[in-house]
Structures are given as C-alpha cells and as structure tokens.
Structure 1
C-alpha cells in the first residue's frame, strides 16, 4: 500500500509533501572559467577587470561578461547601472561564507543564478535588476539576517528562493513574470516578506503544481508577511508542510491576492471570515464560519489544519491547486459549495468525522479524496467530470470505514460504497463501486468511466465482465487490497495508470481480462501478494505484468504484447512464482528482473513461454533436446539472468489447449496413432472413426499439427493429431439420476404442501422428463407435467392456466 501511495494514490499528497530542495535548490552554483574574484585580501583578480576599488567599495566601470566570486566580507559592490552578463550558465555573484557584503545597482542577466548566497550572513542585495536567469534570480542557502530589497527580479525560472535560512528580510521588490515561481521559502524560519509586488509568475512552463506560485511557504514556520501584493500568478499564495508548526505563520489581511485580503487564522475561535477574503486558512482554530466567498487562483481555496467544528458553506472555489483541503481536522461541515476546475477538489487527509453534503464538485483533477480519514459522512454530493471523481485511500481497515450512500453520484450514477455486506450483487446502474470488508459480492456488467472498482479487506467476491476506461490517475481499473479468494475475470480495462492491481492480497484468480493502454504501473501488478492465479489475460499497448515482493503465484497462458518500458514482465524481489505458457511478444523490454528466482516452464514436453526475441532453433526434441526431430521447443534455453532461465522456450506463440489431461476424446475420421509427436514417427495403429480415448498429455506442436498423447479404449497408446479429434459427448443420465429426482420431487410435495397424495403427480413429471430421446429437448408430456406441478403450487384450482414451459426443475 505504501508503494501505491508513493506512486499513484498519492499524487495529490506528493504535491503537498515534496520540498523544493530538489534539482533547483540542492545544486550549488559552479564557478566557470574566466571568473573574476574579489580576493580575501581585497585584490581584484584579474586586475584588468573593469572594477574600480576605493577601499572597501568596488564600482563597475563597464559591463562585465564573466562571473564574480566574492571572497571578502564587509565590502560594497556598486554596479553603477552596468550589466553583468552571462551566457546561460554559471552564477553572476557567488558568495559563500561571506558577511556584511552589499551588492547594489547591478543589471544581472543570462546566468543560471543571478546572485547566490550560501552560509552567508548580514548581507544586503538592493536596487539590482536580475533578468533571464535560467534557474534562479536570487538563491539563498543556509544563510541568515540578509536583506533583499528594492530589486527587480523578472523573467527568470525562479525569482527569489530561501532554503534552510532564517531571519532574512525580503522587501519592496518587484518579482514578476518568472516562469515557475515568484518567492519560495523552503524549510526556513522567522523570515519577513514585506511590501513586495509579486505578479504574473508561474505561467511559463510546467512544474510541480505548488511551485507554480507567487509565494509558497513550504516546510517553514513563523514567517511574517505584511503588505505583499500577489496578483495574476497561476497560484498566488500557498502554505504547505507536514506538521502543525509548518502552518504557524504570521500573515495578516494587509496581504492581498488579486486585490482581496488573505485571512490566515491561527488559534482563532468563534469567528466568521469577512466577505472580502481571497484566501482562507484556518490553523488550530475552532468554530469558524467560511461562507459565500469566491476563492480562486491559490494553492488552497480553503485550508484547514488541526481545526474543528467549523462550517464551510455556499462558497465558489475554483482554479486552485486544492479547492478545500482538510488536514488533521474533524467535526467540520462542508456543504453547498461549488468546487470546480481545481487540481484537487475536496481533499481530506488524516481528518475523521466530517460531513460533506450537497457540494457540486466538477471538472477537477481529483473530485473528492479521503485519505487515512475515517467515519466521514457524505450525502447528496454531485461529483462529475473530474479526471478521478472519488477516491478513498488508507492502510488499515478503519481508514475505509465511511458513511457514503447512493444519494452521492459520479457522472450522474450512484456511488455504491458497501461496508460489511454479503451475498449481494451491485446494481448495473452503479457509477462507482468500493467494497470494504465484504463477502460474496458480485460486481458484473458495469460500464465505468474515470472510476476504478476497489476491494478492501473483501473475500469470495466476483468482479466480472465490466468495462473500465478513461480514468487519468485513479488507483486502477480494478484495485484489490488486503483481499482474498476473489475472482476477477472477463473485464475490459483501457487507458489508465493501472490495470488490475493486487496489493497485499492472496488466493485470488485473475483470468480472461483484456487490458490495454496502461500508462504508469503494470497492466496487472502484484505487490506484496502471494498464491494468486493469473491466467489467460491479454495485456497490450502499455505496460505488462509486474511483480513486486510477491511469491508463489501462478502466471500462465497470458499474452503480453507490444508494451513499452519494461513492458513485458518486471519482477523485483519476487521468487517461487511459476511462469509458463505465456506469450511475450514485441515488448520494448521483454523482461526486467532483480533479486528473484522463479520457475519458467512446465517441464518437458509441456514447455515454457514464447519469447518473440528468442533466437534459438528447433532441430531436436526430448527432455535434453538431443533426440532427432523438432518438437516446437527451442533446442537451447532462453536465458533471463544467472538465476533464471526458461529451459523449454516455445518456438511459436502459445495457444490455449483444445483438450486437457483426462478429457475423453473421439476420432472424427480414421486416424493414425504414432510413436511420437510428428509425422516422422512410426505409425503404431490406426483408429477408425468413433474410437474413444483418454488424453494423457499434450499438446506438442510439430509439422504443422498439435499432437496429443492418448490412451485409446482399444488398448493402444500413442500420439495423434488434433485435427481429427473432438471431445466425446457426455453419456446420457444414469438411472440413479431418475431415482434422485423422483425422491426429491416427493420430498418437495411433503415439505411444501404438507401432504403426499400429490406425489403421483410429482412422479409423473419426473418420469415424463426422463422419457425423452437422447440429445433432444423434453417432450410435451414433460412440459404438461411441469405445468400441473407449477400451477398446484400457485393455485390448486387453476393449474390448467399455467404458462406452457414453466419448468420448475
């Protein structure tokens, strides 16, 4: 389950958790050749650089086309309006371990980083223009008490970014048109942002969604924001973190988003958010009302963290990363809201016992998501046209205990969220199905768009002949978690991130499913799952069969064709699986395997798997492939790695056998019986048309025929070609069957009618039913008997009116 959350179930959660200490912020700037140094002794290296020194003041006298590394503290560098020009890489000004340095009036452009400070303190960056840097305008790492003021920082990838830094001041800057982010504060504390204009950032290119913002406070606490104007950014303002302290910020209503005030309540009680709010966060608050607001274009429309007994009602919430986000919050009511065009509509994380009612949640990425949040009540919510309408996630049974009835709909169809149900069938009208701790439930003939069928802690149920398609990042077409002894067959699953996913589940049978166009994880994936039987499935045009930490499974008779990126078979940490009679055809990577030892064939002559990239030949036969004559099996093994090999690779794609061992077959024409499977073997005898025999083994393909090893009833044992064989018909019912049904009919009359004087009629019906010719339908007499029997049960005086053919047996 944890693996799924890291991959896919947890895409929305990942957006909140990932720190921006990644590629952009852990890479320290690198010096380039031609660099100018201001040395620790105050000298300029090289001395020909157009910089004039006057004591501790360094003034540009011309434009400079190199990087500058500052190695001296307590100096002033005055750009005097000149340009420091880069060539698309390197760092304009690079300070490491420097204190008391002022950099001002410089035009800095065309570097990877405009100005970079690391482990530096009490420096001042002011009145600079920083543009067109491929990574960052100003980057600050592990530094404190610096002042960044009155700069114009535009058209970079990131504007200003602080990481692991504290007590810095960012004020009166223009931060605009940076393609990913304006100002980012990451894992940093007690910083001040004041009087900045942060506009039109986050529109230039794709990135992590929380990065596409004006201001983002991530994993940071106790920062102060005053009089900042955020407008026109893709997402104006966002706060994210993992623990309560990350949400302790001092942000007052003097800050605005698109001209409306930010209301960031911390430790507030019994209040209502004013009508002019453009952003709302409730942190460790109680009994707050948020109603009839328009909240848009932020990281969160409404954020609740560790907040209780509050009401979110009748708001319009759109175009945010998260529309409504509850974390560690309980006993709140979210009702009557219009939540649309957000990346995630309504999201609850570790938040139990809330009420969601009467909300319209449409055109979001995720509609409503409940993660590790139990005992929430959902009523009359309209969930439609989201990429993933409704999802419940968790790792223990309690996480899935929710009160969700059919008054909730997805795309106009009712939600069936069943808990502790048994011996029932889900209505074909269902638009969403989740079974929690259920037994013997049937889910059949459903057509689901953008929804998966989910089983949690469920047993002995059947998921059959459903069509699941067009979901974007749901848990999967069919998701089976901590469940056992279920049958999943005949389903058609297309165009999603997962096909059929088994997580920590055992003794399930997955067969006869068609899966195509899977994008992220295997068409069929077994994760931490054992003793399952996966057979006769077809997986194409996406990703194939994946086994992670799964053992003792049977993988047979599947076709895995034309898949990409480890598309055939991916096995990691999975041993003692038996894998044979599968077709691996033209996959980009037929197999990837690590830390696994498995069985790859069914011994000789049954054989192993068909691998389309096998280059061996077939000139010999026998268990050691050293006997004359081909047998449809490669003469050399298919080597997978040093611990795994298919000893008997098939030369042609596996076809499902016409017969099985112990089947009774008969000849459809005179048929030769040979010593071996092929035309080169001697004829032992010839069976005339109609001879019967028992299949012992096979088939083996040779000389264009499938050969079966048969023990004929006349005492001849040998190999015959399939083309002139068929299953022998089942013999007619034995007399014991007549006695059985006759006794059953009399018992019915006694138990149902309380009398035995109608037993003659019962006997008459059974006798008539058995007085038919072999292979012909029951005659009119048998039908008449059934009519009489049926009508007596319904109306003893009107049995002659019974509909013809109303058979009860």
Structure 2
C-alpha cells in the first residue's frame, strides 16, 4: 500500500506538462485522480469516518493485485477500483462497498469452473463494470443484502447468473445476463423485503427463467426496457414477478420477451395502478402472459405464437386490455381460469386472431360487468372454441358487447351467460361459426344491428332465457335455423322487429315462452327458411297462453308453416304477407284472436288452419279481412251484409278457414296494400254516400283543403269534387 506522501508526489507529476505526463502509466493517472477525489473527501469529512478508495491491478503497481485482498481490508462505504485484467478468483463480500471496474469488457472475474464468482452477504453492495464468468455455481450470489448492479456482463456460469437469496432491495441496469445454466436473475429463499428494478438489460440464452422476482407484500417491481430472449428449459419463464399478500405495484414495459421455455411473462399479485404495457411476447412454450390473483391492465402488447394461451388470467380481480394483438397461440387467445374473477373485465381495440382455442373467454362473479368493444375476433379455431365467451355467475351482470366483427370461430361465435337487463349487445357481425353464431343462456338479451351469417348451427340460440329482443338485424344462411329458443322456456317477453331472417336451414324464428308472457314479431322479412319442419315464424306460449302481436312481416318460402302459433290469446295477426310456404298459417289451441289484413298467397297445401275457438279472421266491415289467393269470388256487392249493389274491394262470399268453424267474412278482392282511407270517404264509415258529397261542398265553401276530399286531384276542393263523390256513391264512376 502506498503512503500519503507518495500519493501527493504522483498527483503533482500528473499535473505537469502533457509531455511529461505521457511517461506515466495511464492506470497510474486514473489511480491518482481517484485518490485526489478521496483526499478531498477526507478533508471535508475529517472526523466522521470518510470512505476510502482501494485499487486493484492484476499486473501490480497499485494497492492490490487481487480483488479479494482489497475487499478484505475495505471498510463500510469504501470503493474498490479494479483495472482491466482477468482475475481468476472467487470474491466474497460481507461489507457494504462499491466494486467498480475500469471497463465492463476489460475486467473479468473468472471462477475457473468452480464455486461462485462473487458472493455477497448481509451487505449493501454496488457492482459496476465487470464481466463475471465461468463459475460452476452462480455468477453473483447475494444473501440478506441490498445490491445494485450496473454495466456488468454475467455469462457462462454453471448456476444462475444472479442468485438473490433472502434479499432486500435489488437493482440492475445496462447489463448482460447471458448463457447461464440455471437461469438469468433468480430470487430464492425468503421473499425480498424491498423493491426490485431491472432496466436496460439483456437477459438471454439462459437455461432456466430469465428473470424471477419474489417480493413481500406492498413492494414494487420495475422491469423496463430489457431484452428477454431464449431463456429455455421446462418451466422457465421469461419474466416472473410475485408480490405476496395483496400484491404490489408492477411496472412491466418495453420488454420484448421471446422464445421462453415456460411462460413468457408470469405475474402474481399485480395491484391496481400498475403499468403493464408496450412489449412483445413471442414463441413461449407456456402461456404468453399469465397473471394470478391480480388487477391486470395491459396496453399495447403483442402476444404471439405461444404453445399455450396467449393470456391466461387465473383467479383474478379486474382485467383490462386495450390496443393489443393476441395472435397464433395454441390453446386460445385470452382465457380466464381458476376461480371466477372478482372484478370487471374490459377488452377494447384489440385483435384476437388465429388462436387454436377460444379467442376471448371471460368468467366473472355475480354482479360484475364485461365490456368487449371495437375488437377484431377472427379465426379462433378448434372444437368448442368460441370467438367471445362471457359468463357472469348467479343473477348475471351488465355486458357491453359492441362493434366486434367475430368471424371463423371453431365453436360459437359469441356465447353469453348471465346477461342482465341494461346490457348493450350491438353493432357487429358474426360470420362462419362452427357452432351457433350467438348463444345466450339464462339471459335478458337485447340485440341491435347485428348480422349473423353462415353458422354451421343456429344463427341465434337462446337457451333457458328470460327476456329477448332483436331489432334492425340480419340473420342469414345459418345451417340449423335463424333465431331458436332452446332448453327451458323463456320466462319473459320476446320482441323481434325490423330484422331479416333469411336463407336458414331450419326455422326462421322459433319462440317458446312460459304462460302469460308475450311475443311481438313485427316488420320483419322472413324468407327461404327451408327444410322439413322448418317454420317461418313459430311461437308457443305455454299453459293458458299469452298475447302475440304478429304484424307487417313478409313470410315467404318456408319449409313447413309460414306462421305457426300455439297459445295465442287476445292477440293480433295483421298486415303480414304469407306466401309460397308449404302451409300458410296454423293457429293452434288459440282463442279470441284477430287475424286481418294479411295476404295469403300461393301456399302449397293450405293457406290457413284454425283449430281454436272464438278467433276473428276479419276486422269487421268495412275494414275487411284477409286476401286469399285461392278464393276466386266476385265483388258485385257491398255493405256489412254484402247485399248492396256496388263494389267495395271485398269478395261477396266469406272464406271458410279449415280446421274448425272460423271464417273470414270479408275476404279482400286484392292483396292488402295498407291502411289507406278510401278517397271521398269523408265521414270514415267505409263507403261513399251523398253525405260525403255534402261534406265536400262544405269544405269547398270554406276554401279549406282536404286530401281525401280532393278526388279530382287538382290541388283544391271544389263543387266538382262533391259531384264526383256523389257519382261514385251511385256507382256511376270509380274514384
């Protein structure tokens, strides 16, 4: 060891001219400058035990030629500066020091194929600027310590690169952990009692987990801007972070994690407020990302080509993912497992594609909510693989499922269980599902503006349901039927409005309700739903039945009945076009219903059948009944008894309805074209009389305008219109 006098002399030499300075070894100048800094510290800190700096050079000429010799004399807070060279030794540190190498690539600690290169125990140690290699065990092992590592390469060791046992705080930055035989950075023993930071580090080619952190409750882990690649071996995770108890804050961002032997990223105990974002996980043997007992929010992640799930969320709390890609994973895209999650789920603006297994599978406890919005869900294949599956237990919860095209699913396109009233299921396409396009169990389901096409099963399969409504939608080309109820009868009302149900192999619409419920089927196009036993519209209400409103539907080319109603009471069937079906309409076990203004045209076997009682097949006179294409009577008379001279658009002879005693008393001469008032019928009694002409004269006298009175069509009401109404009442002209 050099004395203080020589140190001062050397400082003076280093401050001579550049010409003289060059004759000194470069390392001597570094030595002296560092000592100058240390001397300054000694002056400022005199009397308070200021730190010292010790120098090591394997070529000699400084304090020590081995690192261990310097460590043995260093006190707490001292720095050991090591010049470039190869140090064939095992360094054991039990004092809180800083170990600093001249250059990371130039200073090598070589374990010679045995033991640990560096052992740290019960200390606060900083290690900067080394290559640590060729230990039979660990590159660095630290027990009961706080350790900070920067600019270090740890490679080709027989155990872990870094083994952090019973630790406190840990930080590593700007380093390389490569090619170690039992893993990269691994926590062991009891959980560490302080935070962990891993930044700007390459953790690659290790046989074992790349990074494995294990912390006590409430601590935090930051893993940022690292490259984690090719950490292989069974159960070898790229990144594993576990924070015990109620967990802690994790920041996991900007880390590409590729080619892991186990899971790409495995997180346990993520708390709300964590940041898990902006990275790729590719080609994991296990799941791309697994999270247990966590509140997990993911943003802008890409998880591809895992041999298991893309994301596996186990016994979780809240879950959210946005602006991400989950593609090509071998057991499914995003899948919940273990116990049901205890908080809400959000999946937005994410592509979930080409996975072998369900695209998205969410499983929540009662009362929680699921939002699945603005995603692309495509080609998630394999038996029982659903595009979207959401189950909320018990009495269910609110679901928002909108703006998601769901295509080419190996199972059902969308499978929902436990949808509550108030949910929004709207604005998407479901195409080419192997199972049903949409299946909903035990749900109050309202669909708006959906398109379900080319499913190998039902378009919509509503099982053991509650309320059901669909509007402004298209259900087309499905192989087992359009909209079909199954399981136990639904316990609340059904509404189907403004929807095209076409080209399905099976019934177009099949509703099955409990006693006293109602069905409204209105303004739909129901066409070409083929196959034996395939009805256009089938509605069954059990027990004493319930109210059905079947209005303004175009029902064509059904394989069996156009409309088949059972249990209709006090119901209305009006304004429907029932054409070219095998059978037109069957009103079965139904009573006190009104059927009018329907067009029954060219149904193959019969246009209608009624085995019920007290059903009215017309709306009285002059409103009239229905149009029957097989009723060829004349219209020579008018009036309630069809015994007054003149025509009124009603065939003079009634139309008997097969199956019982029902009859249409006022069959229409021509197909119903809508509830348009007769021109000139100004007192709305259904026929033209001199009384209508008198009303027209009064209107003309006041100068007012009335479309019904302007029978001449010249834009004003005059005595000419009154005269024309009078002539029409006398059958001299037709208006």
Q: Which bin holds the TM-score, normalised by the shorter protein?
A: 0.3 to 0.5
TM-score when normalising by structure 1: 0.34
TM-score when normalising by structure 2: 0.37
Higher Cα Rg, which structure: 2
